Amino acid sequence: MAQPVDAATRKRVLKVIFISLLLDLISFTFILPLFPKLLEFYRNVEAPLDASAPPSKTILSSILGYLNAYKAAFARPIDSRYDIVLLGGALGSLFSLLQAIASPVIGHLSDRYGRRTALLASMAGNILSVLLWVVAVDFRTFLASRIVGGLSEGNVQLATAIATDISDTRSRGSTMALIGACFSIAFTFGPALGAWLSTIATVAANPFATAAAVSLFLIVTETIYLYFSLPETLPSLTRTPEANGHDDKSVKPTPKTAPVQRTNSHFLLNFVHLTFLLFFSGMEFSLPFMTYDLFGYSSSKNGRLLGYVGLVASLLQGGVTRRLPPLLSVRIGVSACLVAFIILMRASTVSGLYLAATCLAATSATVVTGLNALSSFEANEGERGGKLGILRSWGQLGRGLGPVLFTSVYWWAGREAAYGMGSLGIAFVGLLVFFGLKTPPGSVKARSKAQAVDEKKEL
């Protein structure tokens, strides 16, 4: 077996992962609340709604033409106010589909050349992506920014692989929960900070240049921090004499780890990830439509709703999820998601909406974190990056297709039919999770008091 990572090194690497991933995700979430106004700005410049304006031949006008044809296919009319939302959803789906292509490649490269090398290469792509956003005075440049970002973003999966490298089976769940907590914290504060920065105008040709510039500053800071602070964690590289500070070629490296005992097939884990995110992401994307139709919610009220979900999720991850075995965490999250779908299918009050949001927060705090942990138990140390990349790829495929599928049903057949379909889909996922997945050996072990104290110190 591979030599365990000492406690001091593990704590130091976890600190680097937490800080860098937090910087990365806060930067990533800046743009989320800006999409409507940002895309409206490009539309007004390149594809104005004024009928008297001369027709434009731009990429944006072509995309809007296809979206209008898509809208016209529905039996019920779709208000023009949703044009921008649909465009934002299309860009979000594009980003996710590009991630589905890139994630396995990034993961396999990290298994071959090391986590640190792959992560720094990914950061170079992220810097280029955000730099394009800073100078995006037209939609074409902004689209290029999203494409580069989709193909290069690998921070989350590589942070997960690094966390797996430095954790044993007993601490795997709590380590993954730490990564999940970064998501919740970033999604609680990042969008609000991005919205505030967008009110500071510095460049007339790109009103969102201030938010983009701060995002670029965070990404560059993260890259420098990683370069100087992150050691290599890939076991096959850290076992070499040179990596351990020995130049003597007579020093024999530690034997490689024996193959792991498989408990769950990677196909089943990947399929659960895909089907779960197919319905969950569709619900996420349709939620603003539902809150507008039922309660007349504005963007600010939707922002407060999402902020509530992020806050509750971060509290759950910090206090509950890290103590749960991965499979139990997934089962709780899928069950909470099913309850949320059923509530949203019939909700008619704000209190019902927030009850569903609480269930969704529990889902956000558990399912993906647990699936990442379960997948890591099924991979040898030399294939973790690739296996986790494939898991993420399947999930991103579901995240890319979910909004299109779900909103189509929403507009064709109405809210009850859409959320009813979602309930059946999540119930199917629940059957797979409760009767298909099994608990890996070593993922459920009694913790000593000293181990519990160590976990609290890490957080």
For 103-170, the DSSP string reads HHHHHHHHHHH-HHHHHHHHHHHHHHHHHHHHT--SHHHHHHHHHHHHHH--HHHHHHHHHHHT--TT
Pick the closest to residue 219 from 125, 135, 140 (CA basis): 125
Please, is 288 exposed, middle or buried when counting C-beta atoms within 10 Å of its C-beta (0-12, 13-18, 19+)?
Answer: buried
Pick the closest to residue 310 from 182, 408, 165 (CA basis): 182
374/164 Cα distance (integer angstroms):
11
What is the predicted pLDDT for the residue at 403?
Answer: 87
What is the predicted pLDDT for the residue at 291?
Answer: 85
Contacts 24+ apart (CB under 8 A), 319-322: 320/365, 321/173, 321/177, 321/180, 321/365, 321/366, 321/369, 321/370, 322/173, 322/174, 322/177, 322/178, 322/455, 322/459
Quick one: which H or E segment has residue 174?
helix 172-197
Q: What angle do CA 221, 239, 375 make, to 5 degrees?
A: 70
DSSP 3-state helix, strand, coil percentages of the chain (rounded to 5)? 75, 0, 25
Tally of CB atoms within 10 A around 445? 13
Do 367 and 334 touch, CB atoms closer than 8 A?
A: yes
Q: Which residues of the chain have pLDDT under 50?
A: 1-2, 241-255, 446-456, 458-459
113/232 Cα distance (integer angstroms):
10
Query: Residue 261: helix, strand or coil by DSSP?
Result: coil
223/127 Cα distance (integer angstroms):
9
Buried (b) or exposed (e) across 143-152, using 16+ Cβ within 10 A? bbbbbbbbbb
123/224 Cα distance (integer angstroms):
10
295/142 Cα distance (integer angstroms):
33
Q: Which amino acid is at 171?
A: S
